[in-house]
């Protein structure tokens, strides 16, 4: 399964799009806001002698929709604030938006155009608002390879992407009845998943260590787990078990071939903090300032209590949290399901 060729979140602006079903991920990004702001502020302050003319950041696995520009906006605001506190003109900000080649970059570029028009209006009406000049670039490609010139990045951000593996690991046994690691998964399957994650994460760190400048900062948010055994069902229960049950139902109705379902597993792995700390140490280029686990508050998501400015978020609706979760799962993995179960 070559993910680079076809994997992407649902594009466009429709009901099943990632753009309209990414409230859960937005909730996670809002939780990391303080950490992002602190990283940018420290970055600006640490370069006080040779104040950088340009702050270059990359958002890896940016997808499309409101979240894509959310982190960039946080960075721009923090650069403006810190520069003002330091009595310096803000550096220009370059934001590289990266995702796999089949991501819907066009929808992002259209949103950028709208943003620019809005900013120009704000500049005219609010004399106190002077954001740094900002330049956006789309960078298609896998972050498991090099994407940027050596020592060119000050800040790297990635949210809700690094739990996706570069490929489905080769499995020696069938993960019968499951589409991800679950309590009934054979140990060899669980081991193969971890080995794939280990290889991918180390490769990710190696590439970033070459691309980032000394003193650069990185904020990574991804789905994780609190149990030592990856078959602990934390994410499986809410996200993947309902999918597995629905697909099994389709097998019993003759709509899906059982053999195909037996070989369908998600290229996804939720690591534990211990695993992450160990891999960062093995790779050796980075030190961890801060590592934190936070829960997904499904009820807050449903009742829109996770931030103040998302009243238009279409991923929350009156049909309950289950419906919102199902739509979010569909926006994320429809291409995987279609590619494996329909096209092969
Ligand atoms: C759930 S979306 C997260 C989007 C956004 N960062 C957010 O927090 O809402 C995950 C994104 O990671 C991208 N992705 C997965 N593997 C990738 C890889 N190897 N290189 C670049 N992007 C990747 C997917 O295409 C998808 O757009």
Domain segments of the chain as ranges: 3-343
What strands, in cross-sheet order, belong to the sheet with 153-159? 134-140, 92-99, 54-60, 153-159, 212-221
Cα separation of 272 and 153, whole Å? 27
Given a cut of 80, whether residue 151 has pLDDT beyond it is yes
Query: Looking at the predicted structure, is the pLDDT value of residue 188 above 90?
Result: yes
What is the pTM (predicted TM-score) of this model?
0.90
Longest dimension (CA), the chain: 69
228: pLDDT confidence band, cut at 50, 70 and 90? confident
* Window from 42-46, 141-145, 154-158 with minimum mean pLDDT: 42-46
Residue 46 has a pLDDT of 82
DSSP tag of 58: E
Query: Quick check: CB of 200 below 6 Å from ligand 1?
Result: no
> What pLDDT does 304 receive?
54
Residues facing residue 112 across a β-bridge = none
How many angstroms separate the alpha carbon of residue 55 from the centre of ligand 1? 23
pLDDT reported for residue 51? 59
Q: What is the pLDDT of residues 259-287, one digit of tens each?
A: 999 999 999 999 999 999 999 999 999 99
pLDDT value of residue 343? 55
**Residue minimizing CA distance to atom 20 of ligand 1:** 142
> Of 114-123, 176-185, 239-248, which gets the smallest average pLDDT?
114-123
Ligand 1 centre from 148 Cα, in Å?
17
Instruction: Identify the residue whose C-alpha is closest to ligand 1 atom 25.
Output: 8
Residue 316 confidence (pLDDT) above 60: no
Q: How far is the CA of 33 from the centre of ligand 1 (A)?
A: 19
pLDDT at 306 over 60: no
307 or 138, which is more confident?
Answer: 138
Q: Produce one character per residue of 62-91: b if its CB has 16 or more CB atoms within 10 Å, e if not.
A: bbbbbbbbbbbebbbebbbebbeeeeeebb
Going by pLDDT thresholds of 50, 70 and 90, the confidence category of residue 301 is low
160 CB less than 6 Å from ligand 1? yes
**Residue 262 — φ and ψ, nearest 5°?**
-60, -30
Q: List the residue whose alpha carbon is closest to atom 1 of ligand 1.
A: 160
Ligand 1: does its nearest atom lie under 6 Å from the Cβ of 333?
no
CATH fold, domain 3-343, is Rossmann fold (3.40.50)
Determine the average pLDDT of the residues in 202-222: 96
Q: Give pLDDT, residue 314.
A: 41
> Measured from the CB, is residue 181 less than 6 Å from ligand 1?
no
- For residue 288, pLDDT over 70 is answered with yes
159 lines ligand 1 (CB under 6 A): yes
Mean pLDDT for the stretch of residues 204-220: 96
Winning range, highest mean pLDDT, from 11-20, 82-91, 96-105, 228-237: 96-105
Average model confidence (pLDDT) across the chain: 87
Mutate to test the pocket of ligand 1, among 20, 32, 60, 63 (most ligand atoms within 8 A of CB): 63
Ligand 1 centroid to residue 151 C-alpha, Å? 23
- pLDDT score recorded for residue 119: 67
Residue whose CA is at the smallest distance from ligand 1 atom 11: 61
What is the DSSP track for 134-167? EEEEEEES-TTS--S-TT-EEEEEEES-TTB-SS
Q: Is the pLDDT of residue 129 over 60?
A: no
Q: Identify the pLDDT of residue 321.
A: 76
Ligand 1 pocket test, candidate residues 22, 98, 100, most atoms within 8 A of CB: 100
Distance 112 CA to ligand 1 centre (A): 19
Q: Whole-angstrom Cα distance, residue 186 to residue 281? A: 29
Confidence of residue 47 (pLDDT cuts 50, 70, 90): low
Percent with pLDDT over 90 in the chain: 58
């Amino acid at each position: 399964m070559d993910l680079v060729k076809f994997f992407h979140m649902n594009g466009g602006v429709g009901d099943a799009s990632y753009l309209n079903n990414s409230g859960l991920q937005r909730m996670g990004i809002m939780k990391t806001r303080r950490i992002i702001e602190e990283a940018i502020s420290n970055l600006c302050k640490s370069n006080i002698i040779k104040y950088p003319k340009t702050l270059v950041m990359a958002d890896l696995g940016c997808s499309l929709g409101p979240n894509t520009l959310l982190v960039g906006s946080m960075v721009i605001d923090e650069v403006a604030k810190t520069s003002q506190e330091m009595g310096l003109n803000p550096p220009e900000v370059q934001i590289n938006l990266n995702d796999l080649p089949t991501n819907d970059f066009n929808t992002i570029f259209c949103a950028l155009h709208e943003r620019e028009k809005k900013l120009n209006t704000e500049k005219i009406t609010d004399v106190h608002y002077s954001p740094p000049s900002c330049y956006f670039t789309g960078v298609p490609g896998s972050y498991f390879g090099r994407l940027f010139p050596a020592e060119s990045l000050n800040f790297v951000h990635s949210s809700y992407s690094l739990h996706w593996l570069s490929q489905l690991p080769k499995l020696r046994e069938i993960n019968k009845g499951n589409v991800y690691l679950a309590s009934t998964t054979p140990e060899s399957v669980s081991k193969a998943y971890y080995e794939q994650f280990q290889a991918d994460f180390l490769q990710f760190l190696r590439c970033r260590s070459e691309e980032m400048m000394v003193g650069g900062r990185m904020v990574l948010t991804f789905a994780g787990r609190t149990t030592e055994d990856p078959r602990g069902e934390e994410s499986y229960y809410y996200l993947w078990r309902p999918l597995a049950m629905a697909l099994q139902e389709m097998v019993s109705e003759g709509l899906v071939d059982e053999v195909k379902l037996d070989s369908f597993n998600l290229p996804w792995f939720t690591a534990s903090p211990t695993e992450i700390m160990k891999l960062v140490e093995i790779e050796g280029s980075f030190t961890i300032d801060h590592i934190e686990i936070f829960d997904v508050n499904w009820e807050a998501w449903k009742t829109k209590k996770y931030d103040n400015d998302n009243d238009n978020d279409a991923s929350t609706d009156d049909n309950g949290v289950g419906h919102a979760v199902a739509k979010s799962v569909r926006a994320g993995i429809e291409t995987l399901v279609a590619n494996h179960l329909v096209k092969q």
